[in-house]
Amino acid sequence: MNLRESRSGLFVGLGIIALAAVLAWQTSLIPSEAAYAQVGPTVVPWLVTAMLAVLGVALIFETSGERDAAEEPRGALDHRPLMWVIAGLVINVTTITYLGFIIASTALFVCAARGFDSKSPLRDAAVGLAIAVVVYVGFDRGLGYEIGDGLIENLL
């Protein structure tokens, strides 16, 4: 690992620790009056804060150590997988209002799976559809939180 990579890792690690500090500050401002349970609304944010802090420290330690010269060279960056994931996000954001959560999320899942080199778009669509339906029903029926109406949502 060269000096430039080591410094980059240090700065990214410090940035993650700074993000954890901001998250800790904001979490401390959340009123946590747990009425009946010991678990309040700050449990998950504190857990994420701790995980970010550990990740930042681990990244700093990982990049500060010396590497042996036999380290594998890096390959060329392939932009196609990233473009598939970005396309899925764009499709999701632009179609969720008109087509609904389930169809938009299924399209996102198919694009993300393709980005991870899946060659079975029909299987990916079936899996994405199943996950999106479960999430929709869980939020809509289970929690009473409406996450959008669409073509399929109106049938449920």
Q: What is the pLDDT of residue 61?
A: 87
Q: What is the pLDDT of residue 139?
A: 84
Q: What is the Cα–Cα distance from 84 to 107, expressed in whole angstroms?
A: 11
Q: What is the pLDDT of residue 54?
A: 95
- Per-10-residue mean pLDDT for the chain, 156 residues long? 65 92 90 65 87 93 68 76 94 92 94 94 96 90 78 76
128: nearest Cα among 152, 145, 151, 111: 111
Contact (CB, 8 A) for 101 and 136 = yes
Q: What is the pLDDT of residue 147?
A: 80
Q: What is the pLDDT of residue 30?
A: 81
Q: What is the Cα–Cα distance from 23 to 43, expressed in whole angstroms?
A: 12
Q: What is the pLDDT of residue 88?
A: 95
Q: What is the pLDDT of residue 19?
A: 94
Q: Where are the domains of the chain?
A: 2-66, 79-155
Contact (CB, 8 A) for 95 and 103 = yes
Distances (CA, A) of 121 to 118, 136, 151: 7, 22, 21
